[in-house]
């Protein structure tokens, strides 16, 4: 039985590819975090202070709704959580995802893609959504990261089983 999950949100497909490669390289289950209302190009316009993403990211308590959920989360000890960096941190939908579950005793490992920003203060924002879990330091990858690098990274964390 697989005890590692790779869950990801991806608005334009970059993180999706990295998440798929990560899951395949370590033999983990894969779960896509799907927003109830998909993000349109206009929603993603960071130049517009009134766009959906701008409004959500300015309000750290925003919790965009998600379609469905992970079946039997209890079986997973380790959950990799992938997302695009938005305004230097994780999109608030990642908190919606994490807060749906009892994560007690689990290890959460963030990973991200971005234009250039690193993980920044991502974990400081995610920590309150990971009650009872161990939130590990995550890593940002470029869009074209190879499967070997992803595997080496995942193994270096030492939480795989
Ligand atoms: C609303 C918004 C905010 C973003 N903020 C940042 C940022 O702060 N730093 C950065 O390097 N890239 C930023 N980006 C670029 C994305 O992180 C990057 O394109 C990412 O790889 C997209 O992943 P996806 O295709 O999985 O959604 C932002 C993109 C959007 C749409």
Q: What is the pLDDT of residue 24?
A: 97
Kindly report the pTM of this predicted structure. Answer: 0.97
Asked if 80 and 7 count as a contact pair (C-beta separation under 8 A), the reply is yes
Asked if 75 and 3 count as a contact pair (C-beta separation under 8 A), the reply is yes
Asked if 141 and 18 count as a contact pair (C-beta separation under 8 A), the reply is yes
> Closest ligand 1 atom, CA of 15?
26
Asked if 88 and 118 count as a contact pair (C-beta separation under 8 A), the reply is no
Q: List CB contacts of 77: < 8 A, sequence separation 6 or more.
A: 3, 4, 105, 106, 107, 159, 161
Q: Which of 41, 42, 86, 142 maximizes ligand 1 atoms within 8 Å of its Cβ, making it the mutation to test the pocket?
A: 86
Containing domain of residue 25, as a range? Answer: 4-157
**Ligand 1 lined by 115 (C-beta under 6 Å):** yes
pLDDT tens sequence for the chain (161 residues): 679 999 999 999 999 999 999 999 999 999 999 999 999 999 999 999 999 999 999 999 999 999 999 999 999 999 999 999 999 999 999 999 999 999 999 999 999 999 999 999 999 999 999 999 999 999 999 999 999 999 999 999 977 76
CATH number at residue 94: 3.40.50.360
């Amino acid at each position: 039985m697989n005890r590692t999950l790779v869950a990801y949100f991806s608005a334009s497909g970059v993180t999706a590819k990295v998440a798929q490669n990560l899951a395949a390289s370590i033999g983990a289950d894969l779960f896509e975090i799907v927003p109830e209302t998909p993000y349109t190009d206009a929603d993603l316009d960071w130049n517009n202070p009134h766009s959906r993403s701008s409004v959500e990211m300015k309000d750290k308590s925003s919790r965009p709704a998600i379609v469905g959920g992970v079946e039997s989360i209890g079986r997973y000890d380790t959950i990799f959580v992938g997302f695009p960096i938005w305004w230097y941190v994780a999109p608030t939908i990642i908190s919606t995802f994490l807060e749906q579950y009892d994560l007690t005793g689990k290890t959460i490992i963030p990973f991200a893609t971005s234009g250039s920003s690193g993980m920044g203060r991502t974990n400081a924002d995610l920590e309150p959504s990971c009650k009872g879990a161990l939130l590990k330091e995550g890593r940002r990858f470029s869009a074209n990261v190879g499967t070997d690098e992803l595997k080496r990274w995942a193994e270096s964390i030492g939480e795989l089983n």
